[in-house]
Amino acid sequence: MGNRSDGPQHLCRQGRKCKSRVKDTAGKFHGVGVESPDSLCHVCEEHAFEAIRELGNDLSMLVTSVEDGRAAAAGPKVSFSAERPVPIDLGVDSLRGEIDNEVTRWAIRVTRGEELTNPHATLCANLGTLIDLPPQRVTVWIPHPDGGDDVGDEILDGVDAVLRLVKLHQRAQAMLGLTETTTFLPDPCPHCGRKALAVSKDQQRVTCKGCRIVWDSDHFALLSNVLDFERRRVAS
């Protein structure tokens, strides 16, 4: 008989940020086991794909926020003259450009240079191809130690691309003031058993951040009461 491994050979690339992270005997969190090296677990992958699908809505809301003057993170104002002010939210405008550029970059790569009419729709239709892209040289902006950014090259694969797009969605949500504050419950999820239950800010929903199942608060309270009763019955 061959040697038997004590654990999974590969771990989710999200590491301790893995949606299904597990704690080792030393009390440290790490990614759940996966079949392929340098890959995401199923839950992290689906969560990332959903964030990428939301980028189109993010762009629409960023445009609206500028037009209505309601951007959550207002940047400096620029004007050509005192008579003709041109208010431009530089932070929002910059982020819109970054999203457009990143989406278009990866849409071109998954279609191998085909003409694009809607880069975001094309990318969303090819998310499986995107995440499986092999490592390749990509031109990126690299922060300079003395401030500002320089153009440089990095070797990025499909998982890198997915995580970069997810980060842009998170930045857009934060800029729009849509990042939801959650309260975590001490009990494990009734569905998957993970301790990842979060209560929405308005107290109307309970979501498991592990398996992504969602209950309305009344249904969850009823379910919890039933489970508590069953646990007491078994223990007695």
Asked if residues 71 and 65 have their Cβ atoms less than 8 Å apart, the reply is yes
> Residue 123 carries which DSSP code?
H
Asked if residues 208 and 196 have their Cβ atoms less than 8 Å apart, the reply is yes
Pick the closest to residue 58 from 117, 140, 120, 116 (CA basis).
120
Can you give the pLDDT of all 236 residues of the chain as single tens digits?
444 456 678 999 999 899 888 888 888 889 999 999 999 999 999 999 999 999 999 998 888 877 665 433 444 444 433 443 434 466 888 899 999 999 999 999 999 988 899 999 999 999 999 999 999 999 887 766 666 677 888 999 999 999 999 999 999 988 877 765 556 777 788 777 787 787 766 666 777 776 667 777 777 777 666 666 556 666 66
The set of residues, in sequence order, having a beta carbon less than 8 Å from that of 191 and lying 6+ positions away, is 208, 211, 213
> Residue 30 carries which DSSP code?
E
Backbone angles phi, psi at 113, to 5 degrees: 90, 10
Token code pair at residue 74: 């207002």
Amino acid at 209: K
Q: Which pTM was predicted?
A: 0.66
Q: What is the CB neighbour count within 10 angstroms for residue 202?
A: 8
> Residue 71 carries which DSSP code?
-
β-strand partners of 34:
10
Asked if residues 79 and 85 have their Cβ atoms less than 8 Å apart, the reply is yes
Element (H, E) at 204: none
